[in-house]
Structure 1
């Protein structure tokens, strides 16, 4: 449950005002150099995933990101956030757009601290639609909020483009967003050509992550509609996992027995273990069903490089492109 301590929030705002009077307010974290024109000085209006029009007096420069995908987008646009939810986790799972050391941690992604956010005096907070709607109301008492969709299994690549463009407009980096999208499109086209040249067009893949509780290994499949799946399909590959998935993220749950559905001898199985816990190599090492799977026997098992976020923006998506291409053209 998101903490709702309005008295504490009011105190935080008062303290921030006193710091301003003393000339000791925290300075914004530096942003990396980025292409595109300088931000316009006038007001900007964006319509977010709620269908709400949010108007800012000027493009935001002090921004807090409460989800890692949108945080990656901000950094890629050249706007280093002043605060991010779970900076340590971000550093582990997202390497495509690294945070400056000065970026403040504002709590967990599931339960960010409103107090910490308000104390940073941001002029914008970016969050995702999946998060607790009560948090939006709390924050909007003090700072403008825009809500990104975050995922849409109906068309996640189009959704990624829409989210990036919306955020770029809010921070005055529309030109940079166009460049990021053009770079992604070029990488996808080049990767597709390389895979086709290697004779691998149409080859099947599966993508998963997993965790172990006691002796039970649970597996999360990135099925039809997930962002990673759409990247693979955009490269000319075929997602071999056809099990049931949710309508937002394109994710499905299974266990090692469920993986027997991946029968084709040319399936390549990709998985994440960025947290250092490799349940596939270690947790299933002695499992007879696992060792009988065609992709295990054919040594077509690929642990992804650590720190490629599966729910990221164009920069993480390009890292996935590189990993897919390497696997199918080696």
Structure 2
């Protein structure tokens, strides 16, 4: 993912000076940050060329919207602005950010009306939305999830977006801060003799009289964060290949048998099915982690599919619980 400048000779000299100074910043990165042309290769393998770093950006998923704000770029439009404010608290959107529809069905008209110079999104490769938008505006597609290497994927998505908006230095700073927090958290958990302890992570919802539970398996983003801290994921049930998520019910949770396990869950929208929907449920009440009061509702607004800012929030939550 390189940036392109018309001043090839100047870049060559700058690159030499950069090497001599011992910095890793690329000369073409500096040139693009100053307003030169930019080329990025997105998750589709598509090269997207911009005349200059994007300034008016629309984000159609919250993870990418969070990354933009982390980089110092307030998007002009975001899908489901209200939902973002509920589920993502690591960064704040400017009140001027426009809502462009739902994440599942964003409005092409609303997006185009904002006159963006870039749309950032996640999408399946066969989605017609990309082709619809590319008639009006350049689009880069982030991968968004990869259950085989999700932390590396997050880094790559952030770096790609940073390249497109001319903020690679900010991306390096954000990732360095994330790495520092992860290392410090791992050290604190080790000192608390909590390394190797097991955890489970879930969210849930109620449909009629049935409680559905979504487990965060080994490859999920938050699970990978916990594993990097030295913890072990107790959930070994089937999960999907992209997100590392698996569906179950309260009976399925009985497969988690560890007696020294902490169970984490989300309820940012206020629908706390674990506290209310399962109240008095004999199967739930019989579980070791429930009996030992090791069930932890995460603070509202920690987005479990976010960038380095949300990742640091979740790391801080785990460290707080395991070192208390």
Shared topology, TM-score over 0.5?
Answer: yes
Find 2:271's aligned residue among 273, 277, 290.
277
| 3-state DSSP of counterpart to 2:251 | helix
What's 2:253 paired with? Answer: 259
Find 1:60's aligned residue among 54, 62, 65.
54
What's 2:112 paired with? Answer: 118
What's 1:224 paired with? Answer: 218
1:141 equivalent to 2:127? Answer: no
| 3-state DSSP of counterpart to 2:322 | helix
What's 2:159 paired with? Answer: 165
1:39 Cα deviation (Å)? 2.4
1:131 Cα deviation (Å)? 7.8
Output the CA distance in 2 between the equivalents of 1:133 and 1:146. 13
C-alpha distance after superposition, 1:225-279 (max 9, x if no partner): 0000000000000001011100000000000001011111111000000000000
Q: Which moved more, 1:37-46 or 1:115-124?
A: 37-46
1:328 equivalent to 2:322? Answer: yes
C-alpha distance after superposition, 1:65-96 (max 9, x if no partner): 00000000000000000000000000000000
The 8 Å contact of residues 44 and 125 in structure 2, kept in 1 or not, is answered as: no
Find 1:70's aligned residue among 46, 64, 75.
64
Report the number of matched residues. Answer: 295
C-alpha distance after superposition, 1:91-118 (max 9, x if no partner): 0000001101000000000000000000
| 3-state DSSP of counterpart to 1:161 | helix
What's 1:198 paired with? Answer: 192
What's 1:90 paired with? Answer: 84
1:130 Cα deviation (Å)? 3.4
Find 1:291's aligned residue among 285, 288, 312.
285
The 8 Å contact of residues 206 and 269 in structure 1, kept in 2 or not, is answered as: yes
Q: Which moved more, 1:128-137 or 1:286-295?
A: 128-137
What's 1:177 paired with? Answer: 171
1:132 Cα deviation (Å)? 6.5
1:40 equivalent to 2:55? Answer: no
Structure 1: which 5+ residue stretches go unaligned? 1-35
